[in-house]
């Protein structure tokens, strides 16, 4: 690297300080958005969990012929719903979840399955669209202001129709999920067909009494289940994104602080060398005049 003058070093230090101000501001903004996203997340979890328990309990008391979404068949074609962010600057948030999706795609294709993708979030959409994967539908600008429930409803309708029409035999959902307030990880779950748990007791018939036709009831409850579980996954991903960006910007700010210290030492050393050389020139000139 060519030797820099003190002026060039000062400019570099000022540039690092300017970058530090930007990353620190982004950290503060992400922290504020994270608090709001976590409030929405923790408010949605109880309803989502109870809805999940209800569907599982219903599924344990019926046979798989009760509704097409319970039908389990050989996987010849699978759909993967991948939820990423619309923006970067969030550390490994997007790259990790994309790598998880690629691993699942490789696994399914290695088993002879045809894989189709539904992509929620610009980062995942841009990545897979450019690489020749089969994309059923892609969504971007989903998380700019707030999580859009209509996107979850539209995706749920697409996969519902595809599964009932036997265009796909299974649907998998991949998203980043908040484990604690300060930790998240990519998760993969089978979304369709709706899982029917093995009962640890002998069933003697339904424990539910329906006041409407069973198919009408199942259509309503399963639509609600699909819509809200997808919305919950998007809310989880949104909170995890803000947390990842806050951490990334905090690390960037710390790194900028370290760089300022390092370059300040370099500047002081260069200035000291410059002063020493000037003193040597002055002393040399004085000696020459004697």
pLDDT greater than 80 at residue 1: no
What CATH architecture applies to the domain 33-241?
3-Layer(aba) Sandwich (3.40)
- Contact predicate 120/83, CB 8 Å: yes
Between residues 81 and 141, which one has the greater pLDDT?
A: 81
Query: What φ, ψ does residue 134 adopt, rounded to 5°?
Result: -80, 110
What are the backbone angles phi and psi of residue 277, rounded to the nearest 5°? -65, -40
Q: Yes or no: say if 174 and 180 are a contact pair by the CB < 8 Å rule.
A: no
What number does CATH give the domain 6-26+248-289?
1.10.287.80
Mean model confidence pLDDT for the chain: 87
Whether 203 shows a pLDDT value over 50: the answer reads: no
CB half-sphere exposure, 18, CA atoms < 13 A:
6
Q: Look at residue 207 in the predicted model and tell me its pLDDT.
A: 60
Q: pLDDT at position 174, please?
A: 97
Neighbours of 168 (CB within 10 A): 23
Cα separations in angstroms, 100 against 103, 105, 265:
5, 9, 43
Is a pLDDT exceeding 50 seen at residue 200? Answer: no
Which DSSP category does 81 fall into? E
pLDDT band at 82 (very low <50, low <70, confident <90, very high): very high
Count of CB atoms situated within 10 Å of the CB of 66: 17
pLDDT per residue as tens digits for the range 255-286: 999 999 999 988 888 777 777 776 776 777 76
The answer to whether the CB of 67 falls within 8 A of the CB of 218 is: yes
Domain with CATH 3.40.1380.10 in the chain: 33-241
Specify the pLDDT at position 202.
46
Q: Phi/psi of residue 198, each to 5°?
A: -75, 125
The answer to whether residues 228 and 47 touch, using CB atoms and an 8 Å cutoff, is: yes
Ranges in the chain annotated CATH 1.10.287.80: 6-26+248-289
Q: Residue 115 in contact with residue 170, Cβ under 8 Å?
A: no
Residue 204 has pLDDT above 50, yes or no: no
Residue 158 pLDDT > 80: yes
Question: What is the tens place of the pLDDT at every residue in 88-108?
Answer: 989 999 999 999 999 999 999
């Amino acid at each position: 690297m060519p030797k820099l003058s003190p002026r060039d070093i000062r400019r570099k230090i000022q540039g690092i300080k300017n970058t530090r101000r930007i990353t620190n501001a982004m950290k503060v903004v992400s922290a504020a958005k994270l608090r709001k996203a976590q409030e929405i997340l923790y408010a949605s979890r109880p309803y989502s969990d109870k809805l999940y328990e209800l569907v599982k309990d219903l599924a344990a008391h019926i046979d798989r012929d009760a509704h097409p979404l319970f039908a389990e068949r050989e996987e010849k074609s699978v759909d993967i719903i991948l939820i990423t962010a619309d923006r970067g600057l969030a550390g490994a948030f997007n790259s990790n979840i994309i790598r998880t999706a690629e691993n699942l795609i490789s696994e399914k294709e290695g088993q002879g399955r045809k894989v189709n993708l539904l992509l929620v979030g610009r980062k995942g959409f841009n990545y897979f669209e450019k690489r020749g994967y089969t994309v059923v539908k892609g969504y971007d600008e989903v998380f700019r202001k707030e999580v859009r429930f209509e996107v979850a409803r539209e995706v749920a309708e697409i996969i519902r129709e595809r599964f009932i029409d036997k265009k796909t035999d299974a649907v998998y959902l991949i998203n980043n999920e908040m484990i604690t307030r300060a930790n998240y990880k990519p998760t993969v779950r089978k979304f369709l067909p709706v899982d029917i748990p093995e009962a640890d007791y002998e069933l003697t018939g339904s424990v539910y009494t329906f006041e409407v036709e069973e198919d009408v009831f199942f259509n309503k409850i399963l639509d609600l289940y699909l819509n809200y579980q997808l919305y919950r996954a998007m809310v989880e991903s949104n909170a995890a994104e803000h947390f990842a960006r806050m951490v990334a910007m905090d690390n960037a700010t710390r790194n900028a602080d370290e760089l300022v210290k390092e370059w300040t030492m370099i500047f002081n050393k260069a200035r000291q060398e410059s002063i020493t050389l000037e003193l040597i020139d002055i002393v040399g000139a004085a000696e020459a005049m004697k």
